[in-house]
Each structure stands twice: as C-alpha cells, then as structure tokens.
Copies of this chain bind each other. A is one copy, B any other.
Amino acid sequence: MVTVHDVARAAGVSISTVSRALTDPQRVAVATRDRVTSAARELGYRPNRAASVLRAGRSGALGLVVPDLANPYFAAIAKGAQAQARERGVGLFVVDSDEDPELETEAVSGLAPQTDGIILCSPRAVERTVEALEGRPVVLVNHHVDGLPSVVADHEAGMLRTLEHLRALGHAKVAYVGGPARSWSDSRRRAGLRAAAARLGDVELVELGPHRPQVAGGHAAADLVVATRATAVVTFNDLVAAGLVERLRVRGLDVPGDLSVVGCDDAYVAELLAPPLTTLRTDLRDSGRVAVDRLVLRPGKDDGALQGDVTLPVELVVRGSTAPPRAAAPRPAPDAP
C-alpha cells in the first residue's frame, strides 16, 4: 500500500506538504503542488479513508435512509442521490428502514457517527430520529420540520391542479385514499385537497385511510371508495392506485368509466397500467440530487442558492385513467363476483 510517505519521498517534500497539496491545493506553491500530484498519480496513491476520517473527523460519506427501497418512489430518489454523490466524490450509505419507525431511528444512530450528513426520506418518526443524529447535518426529503433544511414537492399545488382537472371533467365527489398515518406527504396532500375543495366550492371531498403505501393498500381501499359513490379518486401513490384499479377490475368496474383514478409520483408503473394512470409527477432523482448537494456544498463557500427549503414543482400528467363521470349520477356498483 502506497502512503503519503512514499509520495513525499518521491516528490522530495515532507508528508505534511503532500497532505496539503492534495486536500487544500492553494496552500502550497504551484511548482510543489505539481510535483506532488504527479508523484501521487505515478505511484497510484490513494489516501486511506479510515486514517483520514480518524484524524480529520470527516468521513467523506453521506447516509440515506428510506422507508422502502423496493418502492420505485424511493428507488428513484436513491438513484438520484447515488449519482450525485458519485459526482461529488462522496460515498453514500443507503439504509432501508422497512417503514418501521424503530428501525429508522436505529439506522440513523448507526449511521450518524460514520457519515458527514444524513438524508432522511419521508421519515416515520422524525422527532426521535432527529435526536439520534447527535447534531449531524441533515436534509429532510418529503418532510418538513421547522429549522431543518428540506427538499419537498409542492403537494398543495399538485392537489389543486388535480381537483381542477377532475372538476373540469365534471366530477363533483372525489375520494382520497391516504397513505401511512405518520406520513408528512399524506398530511400535505390532505391539506392541499381540503384547501382546493374549499376554493373550488363545488367539489365534495371524502377522505379515506390510512392505508399501506403499496399495492395491497389499494386492494384494501377499492371497496371503500366504491361505497362512497365518489366518481373520482386520488390515491396516495401510484402503487395504491394500481392495487385499486386491479381490485376494481375484479369487481367488474371500469376505469375511467365507473371511476376516474389519479395516482401520485408518476412511478414508471403509472404508464404500464391499463388504462395508463393520470398522476402527479415530481422529479424524484432531482430530489435526491438536490439533497446530496445541500449536504456537500459548504454554505457560503459554494452556491448559496441552496440555502433554505427547496420546493420542487409538481406536474399533473394526464393519461387514460381520468374521464368525465358516466351520466349525471354514477352507476351503482354491482356486487363483487
């Protein structure tokens, strides 16, 4: 293994100069720097991360905690974060908390000592988890706590756009199938829907849930939605929408004929469904990217534009799962087979 000593000897300088030339180039003379860097390159020197962490206290790695890696939503965020971390030359520990608040907190306290900062995606137990950070820098994705930097999607605007769309189609009663109880996005979406309904005046809103943010959650919700006699439904995410559509098909109901369905997130499943799903899109990879940048870029030194909260736009992608309601009143649902 080649160390600073080897490089120092090859370049004819002391190890301190090598260290400085490589970590803080402007602190050594240009000629020396060049000698050092070329010697390092020639010998194939690669700094020992452990030693550098031990001494300097920085690890050059970030942590990312997500509730479920198998959920395309979080997979996309992880992918974006991953790519940006590579770009910035830092490592990225990804931990899956399995939607378990307990595990989430545990993960963070394990991660905190060996990372320079942590990205917390849709945390399920923010208060306790933030405690576990022990003061380590953090960025919340899809969640907000006063005083902590966050990257969020503009759920309110998305919900307003959704309701406008459904109202324009002629829907007067819209159901919402909510996600996990502790989900911040869920609460924002509910708030957004309520505000939008109040603003539009002539759309009635029925709220359901909480439901699991997976396909199974959609299965469970479908019959409840039908029973409300709503002519359109907005779901917590695309997976729930998929499960819901599936169950409706089993019951012999048509989408969008009997029920218009709007998903959230525009996971790639959305366009695979039959009919393709109308959904709200956020650039998730971008969320991951931005989150990493906010931990890597030193405020003041680098781009100051990343200060404060970042709100990413939400776009309504209209596909085949929304249409005008059938006749004036929705057809009563037939019994399940």
- Listed in ascending order, the chain A residues whose CB lies under 8 Å from chain B are 46, 48-51, 53-54, 59, 68-70, 72, 75-76, 78-79, 82-83, 86, 91-96, 98, 103, 107, 110, 113-114, 215, 242, 246, 249, 268-269, 271-274
**This protein's copies in its complex:** 2
For A103, the closest partner residue in chain B by CB is B86
For A218, the closest partner residue in chain B by CB is B272
For A78, the closest partner residue in chain B by CB is B69
Ranked 9 nearest A-B pairs via Cβ: A50-B53, A274-B274, A50-B54, A94-B94, A69-B79, A82-B96, A242-B272, A75-B75, A70-B79
Enumerate chain B residues within 8 angstroms of A69, measured Cβ to Cβ: 69, 75, 78-79, 82
Enumerate chain B residues within 8 angstroms of A72, measured Cβ to Cβ: 70, 72, 75
With the chains together, A70 CA to B76 CA distance in Å?
Answer: 6
> What are 20 A-B residue pairs whose CB atoms fall within 8 Å in the complex?
A46-B113, A49-B114, A50-B53, A50-B59, A50-B114, A51-B54, A54-B54, A68-B79, A69-B82, A70-B72, A82-B94, A82-B96, A83-B98, A86-B95, A86-B103, A91-B93, A91-B110, A92-B95, A94-B94, A249-B274
Q: How far is the CB of A88 from chain B (nearest CB, A)?
A: 13
Do the beta carbons of A48 and B113 come within 8 Å of each other? Answer: yes
For A76, the closest partner residue in chain B by CB is B70
Enumerate chain B residues within 8 angstroms of A79, measured Cβ to Cβ: 68-70, 96
Q: How far is the CB of A276 from chain B (nearest CB, A)?
A: 8
Enumerate chain B residues within 8 angstroms of A94, measured Cβ to Cβ: 78, 82, 92-94
For A55, the closest partner residue in chain B by CB is B50
Known A-B contacts: A54-B54, A273-B273. Give 19 more (CB < 8 A): A46-B113, A48-B54, A49-B113, A50-B51, A50-B53, A51-B54, A68-B79, A69-B69, A69-B75, A70-B268, A72-B72, A75-B75, A82-B96, A86-B95, A91-B93, A92-B94, A215-B268, A215-B272, A269-B269
With the chains together, A78 CA to B82 CA distance in Å?
Answer: 13
Do the beta carbons of A82 and B54 come within 8 Å of each other? Answer: no
For A71, the closest partner residue in chain B by CB is B75
